[in-house]
């Protein structure tokens, strides 16, 4: 490292550290708020509570209308079906895009990518009417059905980019041995795609956990609520009307931290594959 580059490097490190601290401030505020009393959480904001109150976590489980394990089970059920449908259909679509040299393939792929620009809310009303007409209201079908039809364009793009980083010699060797296209896909491509699959699982797990719009639109029975709906219900504990609306931020923060535990555990186990996938998806265009 030259003497001239040292100040630049030092400046970059200081800037990155400062930016990291700034991004972590909301999480720090969430953690500290979970230890505050009710009066401290709804009063004038202060960072450090006067006394750390661990009672909030017990109170969350003691709430009559908050069932943590039920919400966790419902959320995991939706996640499993969404992940299975997305991985199967999007990998098959991505495999077809790299293996079959059909006419106008690049144009079709460009049109497919342009769908990302369409906001999901644009189709919310017609899809809601369709699901309502077939009697799927208050079921999980509207939340998972689309995943079985390769509707996630970003996942198709990610798998395609990852598949293109795999040497073509593997496909050619499999063809020489007489392997069918499906066997190449299932026996060769899928085992090598573990980092990309783990990335898909992480993104879908966090997305399902954070999704409040879809469940609020289709799920009304409290026993079928997801974790996001359960946390939202805590905000309405003291909702006595538009003029008497007080959010118990201490309980909401404690419940939010409890709900983050499965996400953190998954990311801790899959972090290595996630980083590997992000690095390899940019190798070829």
HEC profile of 155-172: HHHHHHHHHHCCCHHHHH
Nearest Cα residue to 75 out of 266, 216, 224, 267:
224
Average pLDDT for residues 26-30, to the nearest whole number? 85
CB hemisphere CA count around 169 (13 angstroms): 1
Percent of the chain with pLDDT over 90: 16
Query: Which structure tokens are listed for 91?
Result: 């990998």
pLDDT class of 280 with cuts at 50, 70, 90: low
CB 138 within 8 Å of CB 220: yes
Show the domains of the chain with their CATH numbers.
64-280 (1.10.3720.10)
Nearest Cα residue to 209 out of 248, 277, 256:
256
Nearest Cα residue to 76 out of 232, 261, 273:
261
User: What is residue 45's DSSP assignment?
Assistant: -
The answer on pLDDT for 109 being more than 50 is yes
Task: Compare 249 and 276 and report the one with higher pLDDT.
Answer: 249
Task: Compare 136 and 120 and report the one with higher pLDDT.
Answer: 136
Claim: this prediction has a pTM higher than 0.85: no
Q: What is the pLDDT of residue 284?
A: 46
Lowest mean pLDDT among 39-48, 167-176, 265-274: 265-274
Query: Which structure tokens are listed for 93?
Result: 């679509």
Please report, for the chain, how many H helices and E strands are present, in that order. Answer: 15, 2
Q: What is the pLDDT of residue 194?
A: 85
Lowest mean pLDDT among 20-24, 139-143, 268-272: 268-272
Crossing angle (nearest 10°) for helices 105-114 and 153-164 = 140
The answer on pLDDT for 177 being more than 50 is yes
Measured over all CA atoms, what is the biggest interatomic distance in the chain, rounded to whole angstroms? 74
Q: What is the pLDDT of residue 283?
A: 44
Crossing angle (nearest 10°) for helices 194-210 and 249-280 = 160
Alpha helix locations (H) across 100-193? 105-114, 124-133, 141-144, 153-164, 168-176, 181-183, 190-192
pLDDT tens digits for 183-221?
A: 888 888 888 888 888 888 888 888 888 888 889 999 989
């Amino acid at each position: 490292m030259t003497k001239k580059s040292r100040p630049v490097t030092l400046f970059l490190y200081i800037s990155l550290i400062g930016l990291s601290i700034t991004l972590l401030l909301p999480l720090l505020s969430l953690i500290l708020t979970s230890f505050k009393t009710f009066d401290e959480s709804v009063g004038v904001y202060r960072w450090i509570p006067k006394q750390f109150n661990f009672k909030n976590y017990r109170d969350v489980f003691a709430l009559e209308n908050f069932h943590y394990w039920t919400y966790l089970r419902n959320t995991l059920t939706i996640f499993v079906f969404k992940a299975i449908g997305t991985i199967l259909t999007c990998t098959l679509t991505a495999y077809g895009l790299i293996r079959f040299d059909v006419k106008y393939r690049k144009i079709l792929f460009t049109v497919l990518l342009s769908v990302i620009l369409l906001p999901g809310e644009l189709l919310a009303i017609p899809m809601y009417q369709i699901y309502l007409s077939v009697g799927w209201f208050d079921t999980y079908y509207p939340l998972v059905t689309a995943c079985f039809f390769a509707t996630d364009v970003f996942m198709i793009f990610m798998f395609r980019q990852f598949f293109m980083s795999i040497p073509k010699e593997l496909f050619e060797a499999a063809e020489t041995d007489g392997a069918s296209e499906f066997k190449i896909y299932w026996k060769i491509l899928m085992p090598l795609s573990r980092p990309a699959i783990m990335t898909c699982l992480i993104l879908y797990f966090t997305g399902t956990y954070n999704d409040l719009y879809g469940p609020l639109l289709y799920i009304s029975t409290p026993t079928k609520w997801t974790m996001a709906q359960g946390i939202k219900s805590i905000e309405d504990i003291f909702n006595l009307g538009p003029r008497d609306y007080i959010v118990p931020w201490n309980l909401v923060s404690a419940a939010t931290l409890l709900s983050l535990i499965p996400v953190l555990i998954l990311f801790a186990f899959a972090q290595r594959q996630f980083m590997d996938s992000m690095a390899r998806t940019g190798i070829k265009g």
